[in-house]
Structure formats: structure tokens, C-alpha cells
Amino acid sequence: MNFLADLIPDNLYDTLPLIGLYAETHFRFRIPFSRYFRREPELIFDAPWRLQPGQIPSIFLVIHDANLYPIHLNSVEISIRQYKQVIGSQTWLLDETVTEHQTHFEFAMTDCQIPAGELEIIPILNYTVNGKQRRMQITNYPQITKKPLLITIADQDMPSIPGWLSGDAHLHSSLTDDQVEFGASLEMTRRGAQLFGMDFVTVTDHSYDLDDMPDNYLKDDPDLVKWKESRHSIEQLNLTHPLTIIPGEEISVSNARGLNVHLLHYNDSHFFPGSGDSAEEWLNLQAELSIVDVLSQRSPDSVSIAAHSVYKVPWLQWLLLKRGFWGATDHENPELDGVQILNGTPASRAFQESRQLWIDTLLKGVHLAVYGGSDAHGNFNRNWHVKLPMWSLGEHGGQIFGQARTLLRSDSNKLGDLIQAMQAGRTALTTGPVGNLILNSGSQAVGIGDTLNIGSDQEIKISIQGSSSVEFGSEMDVILYLGNFLSSEESILYHAVDQKHTFDVQIPFTPAASGYLRLEITSEGSRWPGLYLSSPIWIDIINT
């Protein structure tokens, strides 16, 4: 982990917003002035930053608020560069008027011979709005650079271990739609994940958005039409596509200190309200439910995860929205299934602090699985967001779609199997490299998330596997950590550097006390640090 710590710029990521979102630019908080307000819909070209080998690049055009500002699409021109040279281009004549609140178009580059590697995508939209001809590159957001989208067409599949599936465990769709943000549609999200090479995604829209009227995010809907329609849409997509969407919501709940924190809640047939930090009622910042309330009321087929656990919010969000972060007491709730300690890139102090609090909780014997996710609201390629309401927009390369992912040891990517894997704690997180950990003792063979029951002085055989690629950093630093419940400390049981591409190591070991083993792998990566981090295998020594 020293490698990651060395890459953290002083205070850089600590000053960034907690979300990666498409920026809503038309809401003005009853104030007539806004520096980024424009009388036309938000227009954004987007594309997954990574594609599986052999995939044809698809570029999406997202159009939001065309119901307020109708737009006529004239044509789209897309050129592709590699090493600063144009290697292909394609034009679409559209002649189409858009008046929907939100829609998207997909443009597949089928007429070009496109090689593997890193590519620059330069999309241009010619359109008419308010009777005027316009020409836009990348996005019509003001204050935003028009630099090309960067995508990588991989020359080999993502690193994988048999029996493990990969997906983004924290995503928002277009049903997250409010005063400052909106996301991509369910269909666009599913399609982007397919191009990327994921097996599943979760859709965790804000509970305070899911209970809004479909046509007015400032009014609550007692009939919960948006929430019900989201469940139906996800069910239909899962029937017709191999990639599984896990239904969920991100609930704003109060922590032990009474501050608003977020809880990722998957696969519950019951809706949980949470509007404490929604800014829908400025004089009411109290969450309807606490962490304990949700965990005690949830259905038996659901999974609950602490969202971006110790990612501390900017002071303005603390002041105006009463937002906080997850503390030690919150982590120790035995009903909590896991914690999302990685929210985007691992090159941040917030990740380091989240990781440490998770370890402190493990050493108390609390079975808490680990998760990674992007928290992306669309943003397949880079992060566009509201920096300061009505004043400034920004962009950066963190918290983008698929940047951090969760791995599940699951029999299949059917919804029931994925939920069962989560409930059993058979999880890991990754930004690229992957690993596996198996313990053998006598007739027992257990994997990540399981418990090994052994007698005192009984030897076990540890099997460690790992894999990475040039794309994600082929040289790996591998550490096996031993947690000891008696000493309440972690120590390094095994450490190897410069492991290349794949490895398989066998280690004999006799535990001295009950505890756990967990695996971490780091690599240099290409765009950001490569990281794999597993949930524990628990070791229970039975005195006979």
C-alpha cells in the first residue's frame, strides 16, 4: 500500500465532490442569476473509457431537458485519432426533433477499421435550438474544455479468475435527477457495461429522487411511480440481456452522530425514504430513518452496504446539508453486510482512511465484506459536475463508470446468485488486477468470505492466485495480511514484489490464534493505480 500512498497529491482528491455526475444546469434555486445557465438542453457526448477486445466503439449523445428547450438534430460527425493522426471518421444525417425530458442516441463506428490501443474520440453535433444553428464538440457545458474523449480498445480481456464476476457496485441512472445532477438511462448504462466487459451492475439511485413525481423533482409522489417503474424496467432488461442489473437505492440515513450518510441497499421489494440531505426542504435536514432503522426493517433477500464510508464531504455540504461520514460505531452494526471503501480511484486519502477503519472493524471480529464502485452518474469517460451551484462547473478523471469495481465469487450472474454471494461476503474490489485466496485443511477447502474451523496447532495450506495485464499493470506487488484477534493487530504473512502477469503460490501455515487472512495486490496501472483487495477468510480455532 505504500505505492498508492506515494501517488496521492496533497489535498487534491479531498477537495473534489463525492459524486461523478452529469451536471444539471437549469435549476436556479429561485435566484435569477446563474453563470452556466443556457436556454438549450444539456448536450453531452460520452463513451466508455474501455472496450473489450473486438468491440466496435459506440459514442452516446445524451440530451437532457429538451422538454424545456426543444432541439432539432441536424448531423453528427465523429473522428478518431491515434498518435495524433486521424484514422477514421463517420457522419450521420439525423433531421430529428427532440422534445423529451431525457433521451440518448448511440453512434457505432461501423464504417471504420479501428485498431486496438488508446484512441481520441472527437464528436461534433450540428443542431438547431431557439431558431439558431449551433455546432458543439463533446458538450455544450460552458466552462468545460472540449478535449477529446479517451477510450482504450483492449487487446485482451480484463484480468479474471474462474468463478469470479465483475461489476460496478455503485451507479446512478437517469432516475437520479434533481437540482444539480442527472445520470444515464438504464439502457445506456447496461450497454456501456456490456462494451466495457462487466458481468453485472447495480443501480443505486438516490431514494430522495426515486420518490419524486416523474415530471417534477421538487414534488414527492405518494404512489412512487418512478421507483415502481425502475423495478419493472430492470426486471425486463434482465429477461432480455445476459448482463444482470441489480436493483437498489442509495438511502440517506442518519448515523450514530445524527448526520446524514448514504447506505447502498440492494434487492429489496420495499422502498425506504431518505431525504435528509436532498435540499428539497432546507429547514428539514433530518433523515427519516437511521442506519439501525433500515437494517432492522429490510427484507431477508436484501444486502446493505455503507456507501463511500469515510469519504469526508466538503465543508459546504456539511454546513448546508448536514452530511457526514461513517464512523466506527456505524461499522460495527452486525446487520451491515459490507462497506464500500473505494469510490473511484484509490489515489486518495479518503480511500486510505476508509481502508483503515474497515481493518479496525475486522480486528474486532465483525464480518464486513469489502466493495468498490464508481458512484458515477453517467460519466462513462470523464467526470462533469457542478462545483459551486449557479457559479461554476468542473471536470476531472475520478469517479467514472467502471473505474472501481466489485468482484463476486458467484455460481452465475443470475440475480439470486449475486445476492447470495454478497450476503456470504464473497467479495473483493479491483481497479484492474485480480486475485484469489483458498485455504485447505484436511477435508476442508474454503474461499474468500468463508470460515475455516480448525483445531489448535493444525496446519493449513494457503493458495494465493493473481493475474493482471499490460493494460492494468503487469508487474504486481502481492501482500497477504494476517489478522489476529488476540493481539488486535494485522501483520504481513507473505509479501512478493514484481509478480508478472499471473502467479500461483502455496504457503504452509499454522495459525496461533483465531483471526482472518486477506489479500491485496497493487500495480502501476495505466490511467490510475491498479488495486485488488479481498474480503477476509475467517479462521476460527476450536480448542478441543
pLDDT value at position 314? Answer: 77
> Nearest to residue 170, comparing CAs of 380, 354, 366, 344?
344
Q: Do residues 303 and 295 lie in contact, with contact meaning Cβ atoms separated by under 8 Å? A: no
Rg over CA atoms, the chain: 23
Q: What is the pLDDT of residue 341?
A: 98
Ranges of each domain in the chain: 2-423, 432-542
Here the cell at position 167 is: 461489476
Tens of pLDDT, residue by residue over 14-63, are 333 334 579 999 988 777 789 999 999 999 999 999 999 999 999 999 99
Q: Please report where in the chains the cell 502481492 appears, as a residue.
A: 478
Q: pLDDT 10s digit of each residue in the chain, 544 long?
A: 433 433 333 333 333 333 457 999 998 877 778 999 999 999 999 999 999 999 999 999 999 999 999 999 999 999 999 999 999 999 999 999 999 999 999 999 999 999 999 999 999 999 999 999 999 999 999 999 999 999 999 999 999 999 999 999 999 999 999 888 999 999 999 999 999 999 999 999 999 999 999 988 889 999 999 999 999 999 999 999 999 999 999 999 999 999 999 999 999 999 999 998 887 776 688 999 999 999 999 999 999 999 999 998 777 777 778 899 999 999 999 999 999 999 999 988 999 999 999 999 999 999 999 999 999 999 999 999 988 888 999 998 889 999 999 999 999 999 999 999 999 999 999 999 999 999 999 989 999 999 999 999 999 999 999 999 999 999 999 999 999 999 999 999 999 999 999 999 999 999 999 999 999 999 998 788 999 999 999 999 997 5
CATH architecture, domain 432-542: Sandwich (2.60)
Q: What is the DSSP string of 14-37?
A: GGS-S-EEEEP-S--TT-S--TT-
Around 75, how many Cα atoms within 13 Å sit in the side-chain half-sphere? 7
Q: State residue 2's pLDDT score.
A: 39
According to DSSP, the residues that pair with 73 across neighbouring strands are: 96, 127
Strands (E), 255-330: 260-266, 303-306
The contacts of residue 30 (CB under 8 Å, 6+ apart) are none
CA distances in angstroms from 525 to 8, 373, 431, 464, listed in the order given? 15, 17, 8, 21
In 416-529, the DSSP E strands lie at 427-430, 434-441, 444-447, 451-455, 460-467, 475-484, 489-500, 502-509, 515-523
Give the H or E element holding residue 421. Answer: helix 415-423
Cell of 482: 494476517
Rounded CA separation 157/310 (Å): 32
* Per-residue pLDDT reduced to its tens digit, 142-174: 999 999 999 999 999 999 999 999 999 999 999
The end-to-end CA distance of the chain, in Å, is: 38
How many CA atoms, within 13 angstroms, populate the side-chain half-sphere of residue 201? Answer: 35
Contacts of 132 (CB under 8 A, 6+ apart): none
The pLDDT value given to residue 15 = 33
pLDDT of the residue at 19: 45
Residue 299 near residue 268 (C-beta atoms within 8 A): yes
* Closest by CA position to 181, among listed 332, 384, 469: 384
pTM equals: 0.94
